[in-house]
Amino acid sequence: MPTSDSLDSDALFDLEPVPAEAVGFAELARLPLTELVAPDWAEALAPVEGPLREVLEFLSREVAGGHAVLPPASNLLRAFRQPLADVRVLIVGQDPYPTPGHAVGLSFAVDGSTRPIPRSLANIYKELDADLGLPPRIHGDLSRWADQGVLLLNRVLSVRVGEAGSHRGKGWEAITATAIGALANRVTANGVPVPLVAILWGKDAEAVRPLLGSTPVIASAHPSPLSAARGFFGSRPFSRANTLLQEQGDGTVDWELPPLP
């Protein structure tokens, strides 16, 4: 069984998950920031390194106290393995799915083998079909979006199994706010803003709007079954995001996912 001592220093940067047993929250708390996230994210998150370590220590105590925590430590900071410089679209979620086996460190995504997919994700696929005519998939692997610079970031990056929202107010909000601010404040060598579109689904996501400055925002209700019919369906976020990217000279995202992961 591999341990944290046997991990390559850059293994955590792979988008494919590290085996869940490879590292624990206590080990994460002791690793240098540059081994937890991509190098440019390490620089951006340096101002909140202390709070991040406090959250990691809190998660270690949760586990020691007998609470199961999601996602596994190996995927906790997965969203930040994608280089900051590559991000073109930001999709903000709330907190991870609390169902065992669902949370993979990317908002709204699940492991490709998970069946059935969560209902919020099924609604995202319905809107993707209505918006761009792309057929819904039976799997929830969204890594192809991440590969194209779509940052799937929850406001809170952990949760107790079976207790949605249980890790809100534990420090994650300040960390993800710093990350979002770093994205919005990127400029080229000529001082021109780096292309970015933010997609905000639900009230928790909308709360980050003040952090985004002049970044174009697409906001609607959350895709949850409780709210999707109140403004998510019909919002056309995917085509609108592509139009806004093109207006900034940054091409488009191919939102079609492979039939199988």
Q: Give yes or no: 95 in active site.
A: yes
Write the CA distances from 148 to 17, 252, 256, integer angstroms: 18, 9, 11
Catalytic choice (8, 10, 95, 254): 95
154 strand-pairing partners: 93
Burial of 140 (0-12, 13-18, 19+ CB in 10 A): buried
Residue whose structure tokens are 């005519």: 133
Dihedral (CA of 29, 31, 36, 42) sign: positive
In angstroms, the first-to-last Cα distance of the chain is 26
11 strand-pairing partners: none
**How many C-beta neighbours within 10 Å does residue 1 have?**
6
Query: Which residues, at least 6 apart from 129, have a Cβ–Cβ distance to it below 8 Å?
Result: 135, 136
163 strand-pairing partners: 160
For residue 73, which amino acid is it? Answer: A
Contact between residue 80 and residue 45 where contact means Cβ atoms under 8 Å apart? yes
Encoding tokens for residue 36?
């937890």
**Residues with catalytic annotation?**
95
